[in-house]
Amino acid sequence: MQSGSHNAFETAQKQFDNAAGILGLDQATRDLLRTPMREYHFSIPVRMDDGSVQIFKGFRVQHNDSRGPGKGGIRFHPLETVDTVRALAMWMTWKCAVVDIPLGGAKGGVICDPHNLTPRETEQVCRGWVRQIARNVGPLLDVPAPDVMTNPQNMLWMLDEFEAIHGGKYPGFITGKPLGIGGSQGRTEATGYGVIYTLREALKEMKIDIATTVASVQGFGNVSQYAVDLYTKLGGKILSVSSWDNTEKKSFTFRKASGVKFDELKGITDPFGGISRAKAQEIGYEVLPGDAWIEQDVDILIPAAMEHQITKDNVPKISKRVKIIVEGANGPTTTEADELIKARGIFLIPDFLANAGGVTCSYFEQVQCNMNYFWEKEEVLSKLDTKMTAAFHAVHEMSKKRNVYMRDAAYLIAVSRVAQACRDRGWV
């Protein structure tokens, strides 16, 4: 999952160190928050459809649970590394804190490629992951969720295995479940919509009408799709999106001068967010190289794919017209690129604020499961909008008050809340 020589965990630690320095944290608190409190590495044996047995490597990292049970997705990816999982767990801690929900940070993963697994084999990987970690996760300990290349069906298999092991019904164990079996209305849209709620507020602060803006998006998975959907509903125009092509093992950018249409592209996209190039060309899309998304002449860039996509090498390719970068993905910007973006005066909405809609709605799902009462979709999205808007303005106010970059402001709020919880518990 690392891009070139970049290590996601080192990036996460550098960002934390910077905030810890500004806050003047004592050494014990720094040592506690700089590394995960617990991590689990395990092997998952799976009998494949051809009768052979394959051993998959699985992880669960629990970074900090001072504010509540751990929370974080499980991603299936062939290039998964424990350092990526460590970084994502740490970012989850800050994400839950910045939107002020009573959860801590965790993350899970399996090194595998779901493209190459049958449904039965995927089910065995899901159930095997739960069997290895069942004593260390649960509704009061650590609550998993879907992430890259995992989905509601995967979560349901995991829930079923957990309930079989523990002999009861525990719908609050895992979120991102199908509707009708403990899933929440609005969960599918939540992360992408949250990205646009924060963008909407930033544009208001800058006195820019969203209907006059043009954006380019990296990725066309769940986050990107619903960000594109809401942004265009609010009147914005998407010039291009990029998408991973699993056959070619590289990404392509799809551009349409008249604007990308959500329904049009969604209809020619596979379950993993891969857009059919042939069908896209048939309906008038230009197909460009994968990194062309960042070079477009637009007002807004939304990286919504993987880590370390904006680097010191491609920041110079960003158009002079770009005013805002909204990080839909986790950790899409390297530390060196951050400095260049800051120097150019581009307004950046950092990942763990911008994409916190997913974990916020996961929290809503957990609450609904635990009280066995479910809200209508409008109520869920209204509560989500309220949370995301409040979090954006808290970070923006801190940014103005301390005269710091938005990422630094978000860290100051999140890290101080977690450090305070650790102090209050007497851990440091």
Q: Tell me if residue 107 is catalytic.
A: yes
- Tally of residues, the chain: 428
State the pLDDT at residue 273.
Answer: 83
State the pLDDT at residue 3.
Answer: 43
CATH node for 38-170: 3.40.50.10860
Return the sign of the alpha-carbon dihedral for residues 152, 65, 394, 379: positive
Residue recorded with tokens 């891969």: 274
State the pLDDT at residue 1.
Answer: 43
State how far the alpha carbon of 367 is from the alpha carbons of 43, 91, 103, 375, 387, in Å: 32, 22, 12, 10, 15
State the pLDDT at residue 150.
Answer: 93
Let me know if domain 188-354 sits in CATH 3.40.50.300.
Answer: no
Nearest-angstrom CA–CA distance, 75 and 63: 16
State the pLDDT at residue 2.
Answer: 43
Residues of the chain with pLDDT under 70: 1-5
pLDDT tens-digit profile of 196-241? Answer: 999 999 999 999 999 999 999 999 988 999 999 999 999 999 999 9
Identical fold for domains 38-170 and 188-354, yes or no, is yes
Other beta carbons within 10 angstroms of residue 233's beta carbon come to 11
Annotated domain spans of the chain: 38-170, 188-354
Other beta carbons within 10 angstroms of residue 212's beta carbon come to 11
Q: Calculate ∠ Cα 323-324-329, nearest 5°.
A: 155
State the pLDDT at residue 249.
Answer: 84
| pTM for the full predicted model | 0.90
Tokens of 267: 């209809």
Other beta carbons within 10 angstroms of residue 110's beta carbon come to 23
Buried b (16+ CB within 10 A) or exposed e, 261-278: bbeebeebbeebbbbbbe
State the pLDDT at residue 5.
Answer: 58
State the pLDDT at residue 234.
Answer: 97
Tokens of 62: 């629990």
Considering 71, 95, 107, 387, which one is annotated as catalytic? 107
Other beta carbons within 10 angstroms of residue 257's beta carbon come to 10
Nearest-angstrom CA–CA distance, 65 and 71: 9
